[in-house]
């Protein structure tokens, strides 16, 4: 075992006493060189996605000491940038294991550093945290969540004063403050109870929750349309996360009267017993919802991930329930929003839709038809939120029409600066009811769009690389791709964009986008939150069958490089 790793492990054995779970785990791996190395070979990296990792003991794990150290770094950053009267941080947490504990410990660090803390008294979604930062005029925000990762993960998202996840420059500076803090010597852990009593920590009131819900409801484009059937049967599942209260409340207040909740996934539960991977992109996570939809004869199934910033749906199609991809839902919402805003004459001057570079290009012809411009940004909704902020600085915030990414994230409105599954759930129900009133199902509307613009097929493949060896293997693969491209797999390319060079005015990012002769693309990037390489394939053809045949050949070739 590396000497430094052993010394660090022994230090944690002596000093990591704040959480008994850590002591037990450290003692249990004594003598297991591989287990010790895995926990200490690196520190969890703080970046634009914040911090995310497996819960447990060590510098490469999410625990009270990694949380405390990051919180101290963020506190130092806030103190460096905001005068005393302007130092406050909003905090929220989801249903994950230790999320509430971590959020309280982080809050105590902030408050001990003289920073006022506003924390939700119960678990609340990520978009509600983004809203609270803006609504309460905070310098920053923290959301304790690992989003849609497996149950053994937790994470720490950081938001700036605009309610947007910190992007590259701020993340880099916060990281530099974190690097200066020792896990045990430099973190100012305060007493939660004492700081609460002193008023340095306060609970966020119900008025803020209501203000958030009212802003969500204000995005509806059909609130005044009485002919819509709002008694349509809807099944909803929060996947044991934070969405139950805000989603059901919003839909109910919008007039939807026939909402059934999946009982096994109703209550918050960080073990996610019926969906170990609580991601609405994955069919397994939707199975209980589909069962409920069948038994209830529902027309629509909606599922939100644990921190309620992503939403997936299933719709009845020829008697079966069809899961729509994130791209398909985004395509439908784009058409619906543009159609309604043009019809109601509420489309702004020089309107703008913002999407990520891995999101379907089918959005281009749809936007062109409605006179809307498209702005491409790097993968991650934080970059969409950042663009909204740029518009606001120029007094052009009203130009923003919609933003979405292929990974089931959507935002209508600018009241928050992150994807919001609460507003997306409402918009999906409104869209469903609107087209239903005109005799169309969502699959029929989608088929209509494919017929008009061609069939765009987008698929995502993830290749896992666990542990220290996997971490270095991912780096090697990206280096080889830059040297040899896709040619080792027999894939011909006509050009490549290497976003590590900071092209097109975008921040530097470890992303490669290969353009194929037939107009297709292959995008490769390491995940910012999981030990995976993500590969996005895009194929366009005249119809679904030919597109799937082309994709089958392309994906088989790609597997030679990563499989």
Domain ranges for the chain, please list them: 1-38, 42-207, 324-419, 455-562
pLDDT at 372: 98
DSSP, collapsed to helix, strand or coil, labels residue 320 as strand
pLDDT at 94: 98
DSSP, collapsed to helix, strand or coil, labels residue 250 as helix
Exactly one of 88, 99, 147, 538 is catalytic; name it.
Answer: 147
Distance CA 442, CA 370 (A): 20
Give the strand pairing for 201-203 and 234-237.
unpaired
pLDDT at 168: 87
For 26, 61, 170, 404, 474, the CA distances from 42, given in Å and listed in that order, are 16, 9, 22, 34, 15
In this prediction, residues 255-274 reach a mean pLDDT of 97
Residue 17 clears pLDDT 90, i.e. is over it? yes
Distance CA 8, CA 363 (A): 51
In this prediction, residues 323-339 reach a mean pLDDT of 97
pLDDT at 103: 98
Q: Does 147 qualify as catalytic in the annotation?
A: yes
pLDDT above 90 covers a percentage of the chain that reads 86
pLDDT at 48: 78
- The mean pLDDT of the chain is 95
90-139 residue pLDDT tens: 999 999 999 999 999 999 999 999 999 999 999 999 999 999 999 999 99
Higher pLDDT, 313 or 517: 313
Structure tokens at 86: 């302007």
- Tell me if domain 324-419 and domain 455-562 are identical in fold: no
342-400 residue pLDDT tens: 999 999 999 999 999 999 989 999 999 999 999 999 999 999 999 999 999 999 999 99
- List Cβ<8 Å contacts ≥24 apart for 340-349: 340/221, 340/222, 340/434, 341/221, 341/401, 342/370, 344/221, 346/221, 347/371, 347/372, 347/401, 348/398, 348/399, 348/401, 349/399
- List Cβ<8 Å contacts ≥24 apart for 173-178: 173/77, 174/46, 174/73, 174/74, 174/77, 175/46, 175/47, 175/73, 177/72, 177/73, 177/74, 177/76, 177/77, 177/80, 178/46, 178/69, 178/70, 178/72, 178/73, 178/74
> pLDDT-based confidence at 419, cuts 50/70/90?
very high
pLDDT at 392: 96
428-450 residue pLDDT tens: 999 999 999 999 999 999 999 99
Give the strand pairing for 455-464 and 495-498.
unpaired
> pLDDT-based confidence at 217, cuts 50/70/90?
very high
Domain 324-419: CATH superfamily is Alpha-D-Glucose-1,6-Bisphosphate, subunit A, domain 3 (3.40.120.10)
Going along 166-287, which residue ranges are E strands? 201-203, 234-237, 259-261
502-523 residue pLDDT tens: 888 888 889 999 999 887 899 9
pTM of the model: 0.93
pLDDT at 412: 97
DSSP, collapsed to helix, strand or coil, labels residue 26 as helix
3.30.310.50, 3.40.640.10, 3.40.1410.10, 1.20.1250.20: CATH of 455-562 = 3.30.310.50
In this prediction, residues 61-83 reach a mean pLDDT of 98
> pLDDT-based confidence at 563, cuts 50/70/90?
low
pLDDT at 52: 94
Distance CA 310, CA 408 (A): 5
CATH architecture of 42-207: 3-Layer(aba) Sandwich (3.40)
In this prediction, residues 62-70 reach a mean pLDDT of 98
Distance CA 470, CA 475 (A): 9
167-186 residue pLDDT tens: 889 999 999 999 999 999 99
DSSP, collapsed to helix, strand or coil, labels residue 223 as coil
């Amino acid at each position: 075992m590396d000497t430094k790793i052993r010394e660090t492990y022994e230090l944690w054995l002596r000093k990591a006493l704040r959480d008994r779970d850590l002591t037990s785990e450290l003692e249990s791996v004594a003598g297991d060189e591989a287990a010790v190395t895995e926990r200490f070979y690196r520190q969890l990296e703080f970046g634009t996605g914040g911090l995310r990792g497996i819960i447990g003991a060590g510098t490469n794990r999410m625990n009270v000491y990694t949380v405390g150290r990051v919180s101290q770094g963020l506190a130092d950053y806030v103190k460096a940038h905001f005068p005393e009267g302007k130092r406050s941080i909003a905090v929220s947490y989801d249903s994950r294991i230790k999320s509430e504990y971590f959020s309280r410990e982080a809050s105590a660090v902030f408050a001990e550093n003289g920073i006022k803390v506003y924390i939700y008294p119960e678990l609340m979604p990520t978009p509600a945290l983004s809203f609270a930062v803006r609504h309460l005029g905070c310098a920053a925000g923290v959301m304790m969540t690992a989003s849609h990762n497996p149950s053994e993960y937790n994470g720490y998202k950081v938001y700036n004063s605009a309610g947007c996840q910190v992007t590259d420059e701020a993340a880099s500076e916060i990281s530099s403050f974190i690097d200066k803090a020792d896990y045990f010597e430099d973190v100012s852990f305060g007493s939660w109870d004492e700081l609460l009593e002193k008023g340095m920590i306060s609970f966020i009131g119900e008025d803020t929750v209501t203000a958030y819900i009212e802003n969500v409801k204000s995005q509806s484009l059909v609130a005044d349309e009485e002919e819509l059937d709002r008694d349509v049967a809807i099944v909803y599942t929060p996947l044991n996360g934070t969405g139950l209260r805000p989603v059901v409340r919003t839909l109910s207040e919008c007039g939807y009267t026939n909402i059934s909740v999946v009982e096994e996934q109703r209550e918050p539960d960080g073990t996610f017993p019926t969906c170990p991977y609580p991601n609405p992109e994955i069919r397994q996570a939707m199975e209980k919802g589909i069962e409920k939809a069948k038994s209830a004869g529902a027309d629509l199934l909606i599922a939100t991930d644990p921190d309620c910033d992503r939403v997936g749906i299933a719709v009845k199609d020829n008697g079966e329930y069809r899961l729509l991809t994130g791209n398909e839902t985004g395509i439908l919402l784009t058409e619906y929003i543009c159609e309604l805003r043009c019809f109601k004459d509420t489309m702004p001057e020089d309107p703008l839709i913002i999407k990520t570079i891995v999101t379907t290009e089918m959005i281009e012809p749809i936007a062109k038809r409605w006179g809307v411009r498209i702005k491409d940004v790097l993968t991650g909704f934080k970059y969409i939120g950042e663009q909204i902020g740029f518009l606001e600085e120029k007094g052009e915030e009203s130009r923003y029409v919609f933003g979405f990414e292929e990974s089931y994230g959507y935002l209508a409105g600018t009241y928050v600066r992150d994807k919001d599954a609460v507003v997306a759930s409402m918009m999906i129900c409104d869209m469903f009811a609107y087209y239903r009133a005109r005799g169309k199902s969502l699959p029929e509307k989608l088929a209509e769009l494919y017929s008009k613009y061609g069939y765009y097929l987008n698929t995502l493949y993830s290749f896992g690389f666990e542990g220290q060896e996997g971490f270095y293997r991912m780096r090697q693969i990206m280096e080889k791709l830059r040297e040899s491209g896709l040619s080792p797999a027999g894939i011909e390319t006509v050009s490549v964009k290497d976003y590590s060079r900071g092209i097109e005015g975008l921040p530097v990012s470890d992303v490669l986008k290969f353009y194929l002769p037939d107009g297709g693309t292959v995008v490769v990037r390491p995940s910012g939150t999981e030990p995976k390489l993500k590969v996005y394939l895009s194929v366009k053809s005249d119809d679904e069958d030919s597109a799937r045949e082309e994709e089958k050949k392309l994906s088989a070739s790609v597997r030679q490089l990563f499989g």
